[in-house]
Structure 1
Amino acid sequence: MAKRSLQASVEGIRKAKQAFKRKGWTQEYLAAEVSLETRQPIWKFFTGKPIDRHVFNDICFVLELDPLEIVQQATVSEFTTLDAPADITLNIDAIVLKMRSAQYEKIQAQCGTLHLLDIARPVSINDLYIDANIFEELTSNRWLEITALPRLDTDEFNRFGLNQLSQERVSGLEILTKYSKLIVLGKPGSGKTTFLQSIAISCNQGVFLPDYLPIFISLKHFCEDIQGRNQITLFKYLHEFLTNYGISEQELLTLLFHGRALILLDGLDEVTQEQSATIHNIISNFSEKFYKNNIIITCRLAYQIYKFQGFTEVEIADFTKPQIADFVDKWFLSVAHHSPAKAQTLAHKFMQKLELAENQQILELASTPILLNLICLFFKFIEDFPTNRCELYKQALDLLLIHWDEAKGIKRDQIDPDFSLLNKIKLFSYIAAVSLTQGDYFQSETKIQQTIAEYLCSLPNAKTDADALELKSAAVLKAIAVQHGILIERGRGIYSFSHLVFQEYFAAREFMTNTTSQTLQRFVKYLEAKSWYNVFLLSAEMLNPVDNLLQFLKQNIDKLAIQNAQIHEFINWLRQKSSIVSAAYHPAGVRAFYFSIALPLEHPLTCNQDLAISLDRRLAGNLAADLGLDLALTHALAVSLTITSDIFPQRFSALSLALDLRHLLTDQPSLQKSLQNLKNQLPLPNQGRDILKTWWEANGKTWTKELRTLIVANRQIGHNWQFNQQDLQQLQYYWNANKLLLDCLNRANNVTVKMRDWIESNLFLVSI
């Protein structure tokens, strides 16, 4: 057996000191470079004393020395037996060429295609792969202040930006050239295996490290192959495999000794807990012995891995919008097998729709490659995103919870024999409901463990011992974080759902599981909360029937109006005004139309006709006489109200034009005459700037008041409601609530005809 220690020869010490001097380092710095806590082994190395063999090798490596030239001759035979080929005269370049040629087809077959879920045929990796972006700093290592992170109910909350959080990205190629020992971490479905396959293919085809031999190993398959075998090493495993290709042990040793292998180890998280220590030792021993080689390991985030000496941990970043667009373009061409023109058309349509405000949730999911593939599948058949979002979200969750591991033949270690998949779903639902109720998206580790402990206490035969609950809740959190990627660590000790839409879906599921009157009453109290909007929509899709929820929503919307006397009066005017309009539009559409044009100029909803048009598309075209006239008069009043004496000369033409409504007043000669009289009171525009300015300063307010009085008397519009700031805010809430009710009605799958008619007839009316 070879000695565990080595020592430098006199000549070796001389060469080492020269190399050390060229580096310009101190012994303390050199010790840090080889991960030593003290410089004592460094001192021993330079004085020719024996030190641990792997430390000896590491020192030589960082000083860019050949250990064979440094080690004392008395021990060289032992060194050679274990760490170097017996015949160092072999031509390394010829060996690499031979082994690359022998392995070429194997690597192409092993790594050249992708097998996508629900796609019957494999896809060439070169046809679909998107260059990965990498975070050099792990999200779980970042120190973040949870109080500085945006809450759900703030305007700073950006759904798509959740996964960015000020992280700087670098390209995958840049990382590969910077580090020779890497552990690439990522969420489930983030593209870790695909990234590793692309590296193997790039090396195989001479694009990256063309003079290296790529070796791709699934650690799951490796564990299966070595099960029941004692004292197996990675070298022995490789030798057994390569023997079939005519590669001798001498040649493999020579290759590894010279560091000309690119070892790609995929799926460290797919190793069972009982195998993990063995696999760690096997990889560590191989890495220490053949330290010159490039080694890359992939693993899921949150997996409790042992540290590998000399390895740098990095993380695969989510897709950016340009990467999503690139993937979609390739998907419709290579996966859907459309013609280039058709693929480009569909991809453009896909991205256009993805950018719409109503599709923010889908854009958020699309940042994860595995979910983007699922979304493309949905889009392929209907050339649109599904109206029923619950089905899409459910399939996305099923993919992460079940199908992804099933497709890869992976069985994860169980959290607890009694903790079934249903219990996991119920736990996610409980966490989502609790956090959403508190207005939180980001939660501290302590807080989320408390929530998990509360859930565990509700289970049959639950243990109530505080210490046992604390330990179990911590174990459950770690397990569900690594197994499914639905809860992830955003920073050190800070967790959230990987996508906000999952939190919304699970929260809706929690509230809709028990739809008693009391539950619905508690639920609809969040009607005014912006962060609950999608939860209501998802709930409307889930419930069967949905009538009770819609009725509770309508009742609470009416209460919003009744509680404020000024708004109640405004809604009553809205009912009266719309009832005298002689136009065949949807009555609720007419009310929405007048609601928006009657608001003060400073209100953000003023003249916003989106909701009215959604109720009746005809409102987007040429308006009926009544509505056209009222809109024009409202505009004329608005122009007048915004004029000051300083700008009156410039705005004179606009005001005169706004009052020229003869084409709308053919049936109302009296009103036309009154408007003309008002217009005649204005000074002549050629009287000069100073005269115009003086006239408006003296008469502008009175003239505008007369215009308002005329409009109110003849058309019952243009009232000065004198809303205060609270009134304006309540009007916004009331509008949003009516829009939410309409959206819920449109998304509901199981609403009775009677309820639908009642809701549509009473939008923007108080019905209680």
Structure 2
Amino acid sequence: MARRSLKASILGIQKAKKAFQVREWTQEYLASEVGLETRQPIWKFFTGKPIERQNFMEICFQLGLDWQEIAELPTQNLPTENKQTLNDCWDINTLVQVVRSRRSEKIQAQCATMRLLDIAQPVELKDIYVNVSILNSITSQRWLDIFELQDLVQEFDYFGLGEVCQERVSAMLSVATYPKLMILGKPGSGKTTFLQYIAQQCNQGKFLSDKVPIFIRLKNFAEDATEIGDFSLLNYIIQELAYFDICDQQIQTLLAQGRLLILLDGLDEVPEDDSAQIIKKIRKLSEEYYKNQFIITCRIAAHQYRFEGFTEVEIADFDLSQIEAFVQKWFVNISRNDREKGQAKARQFMQKLQLSENQQIRELAVTPLLLNLACCVFQARSDFPARRVELYKQGFHILLNRWDEARNIKRDKIRRHLSLPHKVKLLSEIAAITFKQERYFFTKSNVRQYIADYLSKLLTDEVKSEVLQLSSQTVLKSFEAHGLLVQRAQGVYSFSHLTFQEYLVARNIVTHSEPEIVEQKLLWLLNHLHDPRWHKIFLLTAGMLRDATEFLELIKQHADGLVGFDEQLQEFFIWLNQKSLSVKAPYKSAAIRAFYLSLVLVEDLTLSDNLAFSLAIDPSVANHLAPDLAIDLALSRALSLSQTLPCNSPLERVFALNFALPDEQTLVSKPELQRSLQQLKEELPMPDKGTQRLKEWWNANGSQTWAKKLRFVMLRNCNIGHQWQFSEQQKKVLKQYYAANQLLVDCLKSSCEVTTFVREEILETLLLPVSRTSTYVLEDYKCADVYQYGA
């Protein structure tokens, strides 16, 4: 007896869908052509569910199909030899090879290329992929409290905090070890790329060669499932294999014997409405067909449901060798026609990246996403931008919205209640509050309260506190999902990068609709001028202002105010100016003053001996130090060495004083100084006199006497070596003055918005006696603390 209902086979559904798409019909139109009152039977037909036999045949007729080729007919009436063919045409290993071969082009199409943000053309995966590592345990610091985490900041690199004391192992080794794996990672950490790489390696028989890779983007699956009303992952996989003429029994054989490598990418990208359904289907499939290998990727913050039997690992940040490998491949790939040029640009990038002034860029460039941004910026100018704030701004907005928008992912439902500008402003206020309180870490309850306070100001109607708290939790999860806030331990959060926190603090200062409020905040910021922790905030603030003139003048006046009322310090700066004017050197006047200021501070304040301040003002100082400066530098270093010789110094160290003094060639233009120094050299114990002569020299207080004579020669011939006898308070003030002026120069170097005239005026009047630079001195900035949350 003929069955009263029929359903389409997997292969039949594929053929029917193709015919349906060619006609460009809707399901409603097809239903009317068949004579049906609703489209429900049409939907069942395309999802493989049984429908009335007559309706089934009529649908096939309208689509121009033979219903017998579309229907799933019973196999019990097949001849015995046909059954045998279905089951035993190949052994399982041959079947795996055949299926992989048939689907090879499909896997290549899915996984062989990738798109990089801001790069126009797709990039071959093999040309950009870098072997990734995973953290062996993601729970080692889960139960640390907020104070223990704060201590870790002092001991470890803050930006590697999530990986402190955790072993890094090969990600491929983890895949080979664990049959069910949940790979977690930050936004842009390379989760999808890694899954594509696994699929390709398996497809080519280089890795897990006994399996058939099935690569599924869960976002796409959810969209297709919603359209056809079928969320069964099993049906999805069956249809995928049936399209390549793999029959149902062969598919069942592969599943039953665990020969599928099921790669499920982007669980966090599934729309919230479909999430529970997708999770349910993944769980069901992994439990029913437990012999197969499963890998799921998900952002850390979106990871809530734990699948039974799955091992959870986290993709580690790039280390320096991985950064270098990525950079090498990136620039070579971009310079397709000139490999040597790409390699040279990569070397240049790495050299620049490791400079001290690029520390913040290094701290960001630990994920492929943000490292790609740094490469794009460097490619355009062969250097990193002087206005670092633009790079940080781009990195921040990539995580907040651009990365998801580029892939058409709608991650949260708060957008209509909290627009993008409000998100940025809220994060800026959280950053400002916590940074001001010297807190890199904050509790979940605190951050939710900050969010609730902000939301309450946006809502016009009264809202119950429970609703506000619920909303604050939603917003917090959104910030986590975007990778801007990170849960470092149970209930303890921080910004994902200190650079982002600093950027947002500066943004909170400069972005206000009322200029008076901005001015008050700038005045308040000056209270932190002598706190090194705030120096990056000053640089970022200067870089964000539309016109930084007033801000820079405030810094300069504040610095001058430190020394303006001290007569002895003013005498010192009068000497500093006179000394700088007396030397011959092709440098900016301020650079020469900075040079001699550094020499004095090295001796009297025991600061580090370097020329960074002078070089910052005039880089040409590094090319070839002018003779006058070279002589004074050598004399100052020789004096410092003679004063620090211990009483039991070896003969070699005493003899080194000979080499510390300027050489004869440098002294050609100063014959009197040359004669005096030659006499001093002759007073030193010589190697051929042995240790006995050295002891006699020491017993006669030779070291101190020699140092005094050297100082006298320096004073008489070079006007350096003065003993200023600064008090402890004056030393403190001078250190603050030095640091403030160095910060001012760093702000100017950051390409802040000031006119050339203002820039030159500030530099020309730098480090001069106060009377020469200003008609007034700002008093101590003890203005009211206007820099508060919501100000």
Aligned match of 2:533: 531
The CA distance in 2 between the partners of 1:450 and 1:161, in whole Å, is 27
Aligned to 2:395: 396
Say if 1:637 and 1:708, in contact at 8 Å, map to a contact too.
yes
Task: State the alpha-carbon separation in 2 of the partners of residues 666 and 247 from structure 1.
Answer: 92
Q: Deviations over 1:277-328 (max 9, x none)?
A: 1111111111111111111111111115322221122111111111111111
Corresponding residue for 2:109?
109
1:705 CA drift (Å): 2.7
What is the aligned partner in structure 2 of residue 118 from structure 1? 118
Q: Which moved more, 1:440-449 or 1:546-555?
A: 440-449
d(CA) in 2 for partners of 1:669, 1:407: 72
**Whole-Å separation in 1 of the counterparts to 2:754 and 2:598:** 28
In the TM superposition, 1:57-76 aligns within 5 A as none
Q: Which moved more, 1:119-128 or 1:89-98?
A: 89-98
Q: Which moved more, 1:505-514 or 1:337-346?
A: 337-346
With over 3 angstroms needed to count, the CA separation of the structure-2 counterparts of 1:86 and 1:143, relative to structure 1, is farther
Residues 87-140 of structure 1, C-alpha deviations (whole Å, 9 max, x = no match):
876743343233222211111111111122222222221121112211232269
Q: Is contact 1:239-1:252 (8 Å) kept? A: yes
Q: Residues of 2 paired with 1:133 and 1:659: CA distance?
A: 53
CA contact (8 A) 1:268 1:297 kept: yes
1:753 matched residue in structure 2 = 756
Could you say which residue in structure 1 is the equivalent of 2:32?
Answer: none
Deviation at 1:671, TM superposition (A): 5.4
- State the match for 2:782 in structure 1: none
Shift of 1:633: 3.0
Change (3 A) 1:92 1:559: same
Deviations 1:45-99 (A, max 9, x none): xxxxxxxxxxxxxxxxxxxxxxxxxxxxxxxxxxxxxxxx998767433432332
Q: Secondary structure at the match of 1:737?
A: helix
SS of the aligned residue for 2:601 comes to: coil
In the TM superposition, residue 720 of structure 1 has moved relative to its aligned partner by: 2.5
- Tell me the alpha carbon deviations over residues 364-411 of structure 1, each in whole angstroms, 9 at most, x when there is no partner: 221110111222122222222222222222222232222221222212
Partner of 2:340: 341
Alignment of 1:500-539 (within 5 A): 500-514=498-512, 516-539=518-541
Does residue 764 of the first structure (1) align with residue 767 of the second (2)? yes
Q: Which runs of 5+ in 2 are unaligned?
A: 1-83, 778-791
Distance in 2 (alpha carbons) for counterparts of 1:615 and 1:642: 31
1:184-199 counterparts in 2 under 5 A? 184-199=183-198
Moved more, 455-464 or 293-302: 455-464
Aligned match of 1:79: none
Equivalent pair of 2:100/2:212 in contact (CA under 8 Å): yes
1:109 and 1:94 mapped to 2: Cα distance? 24
- In 2: Cα distance, 1:684 partner to 1:121 partner: 71
In structure 2, C-alpha distance between the alignment counterparts of 1:314 and 1:659, rounded to whole Å: 60
Residue in structure 1 matched with residue 595 of structure 2 by the alignment: 593
- Do structure 1's residue 332 and structure 2's residue 321 form an aligned pair? no
Deviation at 1:664, TM superposition (A): 5.9
| Aligned 8 A contact 1:649 1:692 in 2 | yes
Report the secondary structure of 1:718's partner residue.
coil
Q: Is this contact kept in 2: 1:685–1:692, CA < 8 A?
A: no
SS in 2 for 1:117: coil
Deviations 1:479-502 (A, max 9, x none): 2211x1111222222222222221
CA deviations 1:604-656 (Å, max 9, x no partner) are 64541122133234433554454344334323422432334433744554445
Q: Is the 2:655–2:686 contact (alpha carbons within 8 Å) kept by the matching residues of 1? A: no
Cα distance between partner residues in 1 of 2:639 and 2:182? 67
Gaps of 5+ in 1: 1-84
Per the normalisation by structure 1, the TM-score is: 0.82
Aligned to 2:698: 696
Q: Distance in 1 between matches of 2:669 and 2:94?
A: 98
Q: Find the aligned partners of 1:714 and 1:114 in 2 and give their Cα distance.
A: 69
- The answer (yes or no) to whether the contact 1:355–1:363 under 8 Å persists in 2 is yes
Identity over aligned pairs, percent: 47
- Secondary structure at the counterpart of residue 262 of structure 1: strand
Which amino acid letter does the alignment assign opposite residue 493 of structure 2? Answer: Y
Report the CA distance shift for 1:762/1:210 in structure 2 as closer, same or farther (over 3 A).
Answer: same
- Select which of 706, 718, 723 maps to 1:715: 718
Superposed displacement of residue 529, structure 1: 2.4
Once the two structures are superposed, the pairs formed by residues 243-322 of structure 1 within 5 Å of their partners are 243-322=242-321
Q: Is the 8 A contact 1:456 1:462 kept in 2?
A: no
Following the alignment from structure 1 to structure 2, what is the Cα–Cα distance between the partners of residues 266 and 660?
67
Instruction: Report SS of the residue matched to 1:411.
Output: coil
- Using the alignment, how far apart are the partners of 2:376 and 2:314 within structure 1? 27
2:35 corresponding residue in structure 1? none
Distance 2:376 2:712 in 1: 59
Question: What's the CA shift for 1:547?
Answer: 0.6
**1:184 positional shift:** 1.1
Corresponding residue SS for 2:409: coil
Distance 2:145 2:572 in 1: 45
**More divergent stretch after superposition (659-668 vs 246-255):** 659-668
Alpha-carbon distance in 2 for matches of 1:532, 1:464: 38
- In 2 relative to 1, CA 722–462 (structure 1 residues): closer, same or farther, beyond 3 Å? farther
* Matched letter for residue 369 of structure 1: P
Q: Distance in 2 between matches of 1:97 and 1:628?
A: 75
Q: Which moved more, 1:408-417 or 1:644-653?
A: 644-653
How many angstroms apart in 1 are the aligned matches of 2:670 and 2:298? 77
Q: CA deviation at 1:672?
A: 5.6
Shift, 1:159, TM fit: 5.3
C-alpha deviation, 1:449, in angstroms: 2.2
Distance 1:186 1:692, change over 3 A: closer
Tell me by how many angstroms 1:439 deviates: 2.1
1:8-407 matches, within 5 Å, as 91-138=91-138, 142-150=142-150, 156=155, 158=157, 161-227=160-226, 229=228, 232-407=231-406
1:648 and 1:220 mapped to 2: Cα distance? 73
CA distance, structure 1, for counterparts of residue 699 and residue 147 of structure 2:
51
The 3-state SS of whatever aligns with 1:599 is: helix
**How far, CA to CA, are the matches of 1:699 and 1:140 in structure 2?**
59
- CA-atom RMSD, angstroms? 3.0
1:564-579, aligned counterparts within 5 Å? Answer: 570-579=572-581
Q: CA deviation at 1:228?
A: 5.5
Pick which of 611-620 and 495-504 moved more: 611-620
Instruction: Provide the rounded CA distance (Å) in 2 between the counterparts of 1:366 and 1:122.
Output: 21
Query: When the two structures are aligned, how many residues end up with a matched partner?
Result: 682
From the superposition, tell whether residues 510 and 563 of structure 1 become closer, same or farther in structure 2 (CA, over 3 Å): farther
Query: How far apart are the structure 2 equivalents of 1:687 and 1:96?
Result: 87
Q: Is the 8 A contact 1:645 1:697 kept in 2?
A: no
Is residue 2:451 matched to residue 1:452? yes
Classify 1:651/1:179 alpha carbon distance in 2 versus 1 (closer, same or farther; 3 Å).
Answer: closer
Q: Report the residue type matching 1:476 in the other structure.
A: V
Residue 104 of structure 1 contacts residue 204 of structure 1 at CA under 8 Å; is this kept in 2?
yes
Give the match's secondary structure for 1:364: helix
Structure 1 window deviating more from structure 2 (590-599 vs 696-705): it is 696-705
Alpha-carbon distance in 2 for matches of 1:643, 1:740 = 34
2:671 and 2:228 mapped to 1: Cα distance? 102
Greater CA drift, 599-608 or 549-558: 599-608
Deviation at 1:549, TM superposition (A): 0.9
* Partner Cα distance (2:183, 2:158) in 1: 25
Map 1:412-423 onto structure 2 (within 5 A): 412-415=411-414, 417-423=416-422
Structure 2 letter corresponding to 1:505: Y
Displacement of 1:458 in angstroms is 3.5
Find the aligned partners of 1:588 and 1:644 in 2 and give their Cα distance. Answer: 36
Amino acid across the alignment from 1:733: Q
Match in the other structure for 2:428: 429
Aligned to 2:708: 705
